[in-house]
């Protein structure tokens, strides 16, 4: 009876969530045009950080009086991470890795969490397929530095009790850090490891079509011990909990947290993941004439690039498509195409041969709630000026 009452109270929220949208944040070194900046979440007070689950009726009331909670979804936008507010957000792209001659450190990670939502205890665990995509960091110049920037970190799963929902937990690309310092005492010879970053959480209840975006007003920290650096085979747990997560989308979201995380457990694997360590391999780049035939002389009408499919190499993660990037004049990467999984070539009709150019490709995987997890940038192909 208690569960039935809780689900009944939640029913109006599912209808409201159907009108909530998802957007995408800025990532470093990516060229964008006409995009508004993303405001930071409001500062936290001591009262707001205390565990205080929100009442479901209050969410329904606030949403009903704030049409701003409804935001359209741009299905063509790369969604490796979602925006923290309803303002327009620029399109991100991958951090430049291959051009520096470095590949990221990456491992599969299992995620478990215990939290309070709607005054009920919720236990979540990431699904195996998301563990295969796991976690990717950019090492220091020597590959053995004590700090790394988190490039990719996302997990997803679903829950049936006490509420039927799908969820995605992630760090916006490039916004988290993984650091280490030599351990002391009985653990001497290993490393004390800390993962820190603005984790965000998307949840979509049964019956809803769009996710509700949640974020903390404090930066969560997770700590643990590793025998090696970069770390493998270790466990990180929440060090500064409990951490309340607040509704981010909406003109006036509820002031109380929607979900409060009590405990977490990140279990790092001991091997790398194909999804992150084997990006698409570009096979060729061919100049075209104005009739789309191989160029020999005269005006250049475009450039065709072709790459090998990632479908087999990235298993068990399913590839849902590819993103094509071109390096802009300022050295940043600009996404120029988002393609389905069956397409492994692209023609850039804007290339005229009057300047050198670089292209790169990533694969992506569809997660629940409209979230797309993007792989790492391929080794770029360079095209010389011909006119």
Q: What pLDDT digit, counting tens, does each position of 320-337 carry? A: 999 999 999 888 889 999
Whether 95 shows a pLDDT value over 60: the answer reads no
Specify which residues 152 forms β-bridges with: 136
How far is residue 34's CA from residue 44's CA, in Å, rounded to a whole number? 30
163 in the same domain as 41: yes
CA distance 292 to 190: 58
Say if CB 353 and CB 386 are below 8 A apart: yes
CATH number at residue 372: 2.60.40.10
Final residue belonging to a domain, choices 221, 242, 268: 268
Q: For 68-104, b where at least 16 C-beta lie within 10 A, e where not — what string?
A: ebbbeebeebbbbbbbbbbeebbbbbbbbbbeeeebb
Rounded (10°) angle between helices 56-64 and 2-17: 20
Q: Are 127 and 233 members of one domain?
A: yes
Q: List the domain range (segments joined by +) for residue 115.
A: 2-268
Same domain, 242 and 318: no
Tens of pLDDT, residues 275-312: 888 889 999 999 999 999 999 989 999 999 999 998 88
- Given this model, what pLDDT does residue 102 score? 53
Terminal-residue alpha carbon distance, the chain: 76
User: 160 or 64: whose pLDDT is higher?
Assistant: 160
Q: Do the beta carbons of residue 180 and residue 191 sit within 8 Å? A: yes
Domains identified in the chain, total number = 2
Q: Are residues 355 and 239 in the same domain?
A: no
Identify the band that residue 103 occupies on the pLDDT scale cut at 50, 70 and 90.
low
Confidence class of residue 270 from pLDDT cuts 50, 70 and 90? confident
Residues 226 and 337 in one domain: no
Question: What is the structure's pLDDT at 250?
Answer: 66
Q: What is the dihedral of CA 253, 258, 261, 262, to 10 degrees?
A: 130
Question: Residue 357 corresponds to which tokens in the numbers above?
Answer: 């150019």
Closest by CA position to 351, among listed 376, 373, 375, 324: 324
pTM of structure: 0.70
Tell me how far apart the alpha carbons of residues 348 and 335 are, in angstroms, rounded to a whole number: 12
**Pair 88, 204 in one domain:** yes
Do residues 244 and 49 touch, judged by C-beta distance below 8 A? Answer: yes
| Residues 162-172: tens digit of each pLDDT | 788 889 999 88
Q: What is the mean pLDDT of residues 127-155?
A: 74
Contacts of 357 (CB under 8 A, 6+ apart): 303, 326, 327, 351, 382, 383
User: Within this chain, do residues 209 and 134 fall inside the same structural domain, yes or no?
Assistant: yes
Same domain, 238 and 285: no
Same domain for 187 and 287?
A: no
Answer yes or no: do 260 and 296 share one domain: no
Residues 204 and 280 grouped into a single domain:
no
> Final residue of a domain: which of 220, 252, 268?
268
Contacting residues for 252 by C-beta, under 8 A, at least 6 apart: 62, 65, 66, 68
Based on the domain organization, do 17 and 85 belong to the same domain? yes
């Amino acid at each position: 009876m208690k569960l039935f009452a809780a689900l009944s109270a939640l029913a109006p929220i599912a209808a409201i969530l159907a009108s909530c949208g998802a957007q995408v944040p800025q990532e470093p070194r990516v060229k964008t045009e006409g995009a508004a900046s993303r405001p930071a979440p409001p500062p936290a007070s001591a009262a707001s950080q205390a565990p205080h689950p929100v009442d479901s009726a209050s969410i329904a009331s606030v949403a009903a009086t704030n049409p701003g909670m409804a935001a359209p979804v741009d299905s063509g936008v790369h969604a490796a991470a979602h925006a923290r507010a309803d303002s327009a957000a620029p399109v991100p792209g991958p951090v430049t890795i291959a051009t520096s001659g470095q590949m990221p450190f990456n491992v599969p990670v299992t995620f478990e969490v215990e939290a309070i939502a709607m005054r009920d205890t919720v236990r979540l665990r990431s699904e195996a397929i998301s563990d295969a995509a796991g976690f990717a960091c950019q090492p220091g110049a020597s590959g053995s530095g004590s700090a790394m920037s988190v490039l990719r970190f996302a997990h997803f799963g679903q829950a049936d009790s006490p509420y039927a929902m799908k969820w995605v937990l992630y760090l916006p690309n490039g916004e988290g850090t993984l650091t280490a310092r030599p351990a002391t005492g009985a653990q001497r010879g290993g490393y004390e490891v800390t993962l820190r970053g603005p984790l965000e959480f998307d949840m979509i209840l049964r019956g809803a079509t769009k996710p509700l975006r949640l974020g903390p007003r404090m930066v969560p920290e997770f700590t643990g011990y590793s025998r090696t650096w970069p770390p493998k085979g270790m466990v990180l747990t929440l060090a500064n909990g409990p951490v309340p997560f607040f509704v981010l989308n909406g003109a006036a979201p509820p002031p109380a947290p929607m979900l409060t995380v009590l405990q977490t457990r990140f279990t790092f694997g001991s091997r790398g993941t194909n999804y992150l360590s084997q990006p698409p391999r570009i096979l060729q780049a061919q100049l075209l004439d104005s009739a789309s035939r191989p160029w020999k002389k005269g005006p250049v009408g475009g450039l065709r690039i072709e790459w090998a499919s990632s479908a087999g190499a990235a298993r068990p993660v399913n590839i849902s498509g590819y993103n094509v990037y071109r390096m802009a004049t300022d050295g940043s990467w600009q996404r120029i195409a988002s393609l389905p999984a069956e397409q492994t070539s692209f023609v850039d009709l804007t290339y005229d041969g009057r300047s050198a150019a670089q292209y790169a490709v990533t694969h992506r995987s569809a997660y629940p709630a409209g979230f797309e997890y993007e792989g790492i940038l391929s080794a770029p192909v360079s095209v010389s000026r011909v006119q």
